[in-house]
Amino acid sequence: MTLSELAMPRGIESAALPVAGAAPLNTVTLTNSRGTRVRLCELGASLLSVETEDRYGQRDNILLTYADPQHWLDNGWYLGVTAGRVANRIGGARFRIGDTEYQLPANDGPNHLHGGPEGLSTRRWQLVQSESGAAGQSVTFRCESADGDGGYPGNLAVELTYRLGEDDTLALEYRASTDRATPVALTNHCYWNLAGRDGILEHELEIHAQKLLELDAELVPTGKLQDVQGTPVDFRKRKKIGRDIDAWPGGYDNFWVVDESADKVLKPIAELTHPASGRSVKIVSSEAGVQFYSGNFLDGTRNREGGSPIQQYAGLCLETHGFPDAPNHENFPSVILQPGEEYRQTTIYGFSAE
Give catalytic status of residue 319 as yes or no. yes
Walking along the chain (354 residues) 10 residues at a time, the average pLDDT comes out as 59 93 96 97 98 96 97 97 98 97 98 97 97 95 98 98 98 98 98 95 98 97 97 98 97 96 90 98 97 98 95 98 98 97 98 94
The SS3 of residue 313 is coil
Note whether residue 7 is domain-resident. no
6 lies in a domain?
no
Task: For residue 327, report the phi and psi dihedrals to the nearest 5 degrees.
Answer: -60, -20
Catalytic position from the list 53, 319, 321, 329: 319
- According to DSSP, residue 124 is labeled B
- Please tell me the predicted confidence (pLDDT) of residue 4: 46
CATH number (domain holding residue 199): 2.70.98.10
Residue at 157 is within a domain: yes
Please tell me which residue in 114, 189, 274, 329 is annotated as part of the active site.
Answer: 189
Q: Please tell me the predicted confidence (pLDDT) of residue 1.
A: 45
Expressed as residue numbers, the domain containing 121 is 13-353
pTM flag (> 0.85): yes
* Residues 352, 354: Cα–Cα separation, whole Å: 6
DSSP string, 105-118: ---BTTBEETT-TT
What is the chain's alpha carbon radius of gyration, rounded to the nearest angstrom? 19
Question: Could you give the 3-state DSSP secondary structure of residue 91?
Answer: helix
Residue 15 CA to residue 3 CA, distance in Å, equals: 8
Number of domains composing the chain: 1
In a domain, 283, yes or no: yes
Residue 4 lies in a domain: no
Say if 8 falls within a structural domain: no
Question: Is 301 a member of any domain?
Answer: yes
